[in-house]
Amino acid sequence: MAHFSRQFALCFLLFIILAYTAQAFTGTYGVNYGRLADNIPKPESVVTLLKAAKIKNVRIYDAEPTVLKAFSNSGIEISVCIPNEILADMSVYEDKAMAWVKDNVQPYLPDTHIRGISVGNEILGRGDASTSEVLLGAVKNVYSALDRLDLTNLIKVSTPHSEGVFANSYPPSSCVFKEDVIQYMKPLLQFFSQIDSPFYINAYPFLAYISDPQHIDLNYALFEKNPGIVDPKNNLHYDNMFEAQVDAAYAALAAAGFENMEVIVSETGWASQGDPNEIGASLKNAKTYNKNLRKRLLKNKGTPLRPKIPVKAYVFALFNENSKPGPTSERNFGLFKADGSIAYDIGFTGLKPSSASRSCSMVLALCVSMLLLVLTA
């Protein structure tokens, strides 16, 4: 009996440890909640929208108090971001990192489920040595602050990368980091492997397609039926570019000596509108990509190279953001319009019905009225 009690106690203790170990991602599907717009819903309404859509993972690009307060007691896992411009100070002064965590994270716990901190965004691969040099120091100081506050079991530290960190990505198995990136990337990966943090990559088949539409099959980029490609080095078959991009990241990690590190897609999406030279940016293609991506992620399966590791991704983005600079596409990645209605139907419901669903409702109401008139005549 005593032996059974000890076993039970150990199992219970293991359950408690696992329950309170930092899990920056629940399930496989998340969304990026950007707010560079002057016409999107208030954070409280956004929480209602996300809960209705059953979206459990959200990334924001800052640590805005009104957003963090609105997410209180929502059950939604949220990842916050430290702006690029303050990383230099944070890399040198540990007290700066501690002050940021105390001001922007600790006050909202535990009611707001902050589960991740992104230290900057797409720092490496830009060719800017000054910002690349400060990233690791900032990451270490943020982690140290969390450790001193006993929060490392709750919150993961990471940093997302663009495809610009890779020297090549085709075929996927040949992918390696750029020579001017690896000197910064390798020590960063070493630290992340010590603290069990994943590798975050912003993977956009949309950007790859518009850069070379003559040589890339649109159906391959959209998860639609196509012959796919075969990687000549390992004979793995890919029927969509998204999985090829994820496996390219895995290959680069393996080549750098970090074969066991998990890859999570921090951004992916498709623009519903673009400039004339942004071939492929359309409502139809955005709907197709995001609908097929969602179906793919909900299958909870891996990639050809890592079949046992379910792919996880944050879609970019929740809303069309009318204040974003750059080409037209930058303002048209939203799953939802600024008024909270769906931009296109991929299975979500908006805060208000779309014009299409309103028209359908009106037609249905008219048909019902006519039927009642016939029955009562």
The DSSP code sequence of 269-323 is ---SS--TTSTT-SHHHHHHHHHHHHHHHHT----SSSTTS---EEEE-SB--TT
d(CA 132, CA 137): 10
Cis peptide, bond prior to residue 171, ω within 30 of zero: yes
Q: 122, 163, 243, 321: which one is catalytic?
A: 122
Say whether 122 is catalytic.
Answer: yes
Tokens of 227: 């012959």
In angstroms, what is the C-alpha Rg of the chain?
A: 23
The DSSP code sequence of 122-155 is S-TTSS-HHHHHHHHHHHHHHHHHHHHTT-TTT-
Say whether 77 is catalytic.
Answer: no
Residue 15: phi, psi to the nearest 5? -60, -45
- Answer whether 242's CB lies under 8 Å from 235's CB: no
d(CA 207, CA 278): 9
Q: 163, 267, 278, 321: which one is catalytic?
A: 267
Between the CA of residue 47 and those of 43, 67, 108, 125, 293, what are the distances in Å? 6, 9, 16, 34, 22
Neighbours of 322 (CB within 10 A): 14
Which are the catalytic amino acids? 122, 267
